[in-house]
Structure 1
């Protein structure tokens, strides 16, 4: 049992593969964002009397049910009352406060849950003697619509709610993690995919200053943000879709009469969560049909206030929060999307976004045009190239370490996945040694063990002291040294340098 200002939490000791750990699950870090708190900034949690059972994960945020699978035929319950976090710790006394690692899950800002078995922090906590915290936050229409234009004195609507949820969770850590044996002055925030993009956004958010000492961004999509003008278009169209389930729109209607705030408030107050989710799905179809430039119309909103500038502009201007950063992507990033969920842009669309015709031709010439290279080009446009641009900018204000994850098991190779998106998570969380990942390690038991130890040791060393182990130099625009994570690791100078130089011409214009 752990006592905090909010109340008493009763945790559970781990069994079998998680022996030697304790977990506290489903801890509220903010009040339920329901009724009058729907579409509002996270509000303070209300303390409760007595002991709170923390043996089960909290509810997943509202999304399509299939994305909440936690086992064959089992799904995590969903609800708007989803602002909870989970704490994993070694089951032994430490003479000093432990480093803290706060994880933000991915899911393209439309799906995901901290209850996913892949994100169990027990093995990482035990191996590195750290406290691991995993966070549930709002996303999709519940977390990333800007309805603030429809606020009145009686009913206010806020924006950037998902990002503010993450800041609220980090603030909770600052207030409470010492009771769990953690050091609030030594917090590392880390995340993957949309979680990695969230880490980037936090580095560009003044309200997050002082809440973490280090950051790890795995496979971020730096451009997965929404300009304020587009956010207003999406809010308007969302409300029209919510009001009219039969509406079919394929273009931005600039002549439509604005919707009165009173009508919006009545509409949102009476709408069920399922209706809001359904309208959000239809908004995604609208964004694609109207060719708005955003395959997913949800994400941190560049409002000039809470998030002053887009991540790449913030980094280029040297205005990111000056904390050490580990950042990287995976060698075969795009294969997962090509086979399971194709949200990457077509090659032509990826190149259309390159304004200069000569640069566009130069980039195209560096990919041979085959199916795999077309996928690589799209993935490079979304993940790798802008990630390097961010790393170069942030490297001017704080030590920055860049990696490329190349390790792949035989099972992943046979499946045509390779070192694709999210596969590094099996090493970070040690999941090759749990039920969810053991099948991927068939025939590669020893090598997966070595990669788990290597990645966890580096992530743990970075969280502990700010340097990710030995032999990994910082990234700078002269040497451009990158750690290739494989079995074994190696350092390369400017890998894929020709492609990197061509894409740099695109991002240097930011």
Structure 2
């Protein structure tokens, strides 16, 4: 229930209630009352705690439910970001948070005034499960909310604090598992939304989860997790990557077990046991883990994630909800660290591909020719990570009997194109949120032109209508057909342009490659592609 206070009260701890002249909108939700602020015709509520992260001596446990608080909580300031490493080098993505804390499980809400029964859009930030935060200025939800929905953005534990698995942690757990704490945070946030969002004018039975990059990986984890079932009703995955996921106790697909990786990082950090790790200061621990080579991933533990994502989607065990998935044509142009070293020349490139891909080499070289090695390598890694994943999601969701919508973001503008960054990784985000003027400091500046605003308006309309009805539409724009038998997709270049059969043969090649590696059982997929690929196993069974 939403209301405005009219009587002056006093400051007490986290519960700041100003006088009547300064009073903002107040919502009395089941978990407690909050006071927000007005932003035009949208009310904003910041830094609302949805759970408590166990910290210090209790670190690496599931999030703890909070009791309902008394009084009215000040929700006019964002909560701190979850602990993460400080940027070590200039990057277009560098936009470090002002504050960090282990006590970081908060969410933010943008709600149209007088909202009632509106669809809910829950945003999960990216950052390789290592960096990022819910109140990144580019994620401001006011413009999307003005399209007629409630926008929620969430924090979740990152890095070693969010994903460490270890035998001692598994032994502590009543379920015999460890890791996935950041994913459990996301589930706790969705449970909070289900309990409370009606008080802000949202429909808890019409929730869309959405994310980009690691946020889109999280969307896939949530779609796969039995623990998240029923907490959302649609999904959007922007630049997702369906990579090999470590298993809790077994080394499989060329990937060490998650517990083994946890043991290794503990040794690298000089701790003899779990108590030693828990005694380390959070920011120093996080930084040291990164320098030691620790990479945070979800964990196939049989409970929260029951099997590899590829297997879950093959078996149709994922959440059968309408899905939008897509990627950007220039994904790797700002992620060149993902590229292997380039061969000396075109002949060396072709020799490397033929030596690795065998009977699939001709197909590979047709798609990624030796006549343009640099561009072919960019396209190879883009497709193996993002293009294959997005297309696979569209195909598997369609086969599961639900509508799926595929897109390609292929839009460039002068500041990006002049620096060789056409349609780079995350370039769609300012258009989706309508926040072209709030990009990070090193981001190529988007011109404030009518054409750019129209593209952003169209994308916001498609995204908002999908969150509302499960079908993306935009006034005055082309009809976006479900992927279906016709392999439909929507390209966002200068304007929305529908098409069919995106990058013909791309999916078939990478699906065959992944299939053979999965069948071999000792090879990871996605990262080791192109000239970095191991020798591809021979065709066998159902693999082409």
Does residue 30 of structure 1 match 2:51? yes
Cα distance in 2 for partners of 1:154, 1:423 equals 41
Does residue 466 of structure 1 match 2:493? no
SS in 2 for 1:358: helix
Give the one of 265, 268, 281 matched to 2:274.
265
| 1:251-330 mapped onto 2 (5 Å cutoff) | 264-284=273-293, 297-330=295-328
SS in 1 for 2:331: coil
SS in 2 for 1:505: helix
Structure 1 residues 375 and 158 mapped into 2: Cα distance closer, same or farther (>3 Å)?
A: same
CA contact (8 A) 1:76 1:115 kept: no
**Displacement after TM superposition at 1:239 (Å):** 1.0
Structure 1 residues 73 and 148 mapped into 2: Cα distance closer, same or farther (>3 Å)?
A: closer
**CA offsets 1:8-53 (integer angstroms, 9 cap, x no match):** 2110112xxxx22211111111113213441001110133222211
Equivalent residue number for residue 494 of structure 1? 501
Equivalent residue number for residue 528 of structure 2? none
Cα distance in 2 for partners of 1:424, 1:73 equals 17
Cα distance in 2 for partners of 1:86, 1:161 equals 20
CA contact (8 A) 1:141 1:298 kept: yes
Equivalent residue number for residue 34 of structure 2? 9
Structure 1 residues 315 and 151 mapped into 2: Cα distance closer, same or farther (>3 Å)?
A: closer
CA contact (8 A) 2:207 2:233 kept: yes
Deviates more, 1:74-83 or 1:453-462: 74-83
| 1:33-432 mapped onto 2 (5 Å cutoff) | 33-66=54-87, 75-90=97-112, 92-94=113-115, 96-126=116-146, 128-152=147-171, 158-223=178-243, 225-228=245-248, 229=250, 230=256, 231-243=258-270, 264-284=273-293, 297-338=295-336, 342-344=337-339, 357-360=358-361, 362-369=363-370, 370-397=373-400, 398-432=402-436
CA contact (8 A) 2:327 2:408 kept: yes
CA contact (8 A) 1:237 1:283 kept: no
Cα distance in 2 for partners of 1:132, 1:335 equals 30
CA contact (8 A) 2:416 2:444 kept: no
Cα distance in 2 for partners of 1:304, 1:462 equals 32
Cα distance in 1 for partners of 2:130, 2:359 equals 36
**CA offsets 1:42-94 (integer angstroms, 9 cap, x no match):** 1101332222111111111111233999999984201100111110112x213
Cα distance in 1 for partners of 2:362, 2:75 equals 56
Structure 1 residues 166 and 360 mapped into 2: Cα distance closer, same or farther (>3 Å)?
A: farther
**Displacement after TM superposition at 1:346 (Å):** 5.3
Deviates more, 1:148-157 or 1:447-456: 148-157
User: TM-score w.r.t. structure 2 length?
Assistant: 0.80
Structure 1 residues 312 and 80 mapped into 2: Cα distance closer, same or farther (>3 Å)?
A: same
**Displacement after TM superposition at 1:165 (Å):** 0.7
Structure 1 residues 345 and 181 mapped into 2: Cα distance closer, same or farther (>3 Å)?
A: farther
**Displacement after TM superposition at 1:498 (Å):** 2.8
User: TM-score w.r.t. structure 1 length?
Assistant: 0.85
**CA offsets 1:401-422 (integer angstroms, 9 cap, x no match):** 1010111212211121111110
Give the one of 497, 501, 511 matched to 1:504.
511
CA contact (8 A) 2:211 2:238 kept: yes
CA contact (8 A) 2:342 2:374 kept: no
Deviates more, 1:129-138 or 1:229-238: 229-238
Cα distance in 2 for partners of 1:372, 1:494 equals 21
Which has more radius of gyration?
A: 2
Please report the RMSD computed on the Cα atoms of aligned residues, expressed in angstroms: 2.8
Cα distance in 1 for partners of 2:128, 2:92 equals 18
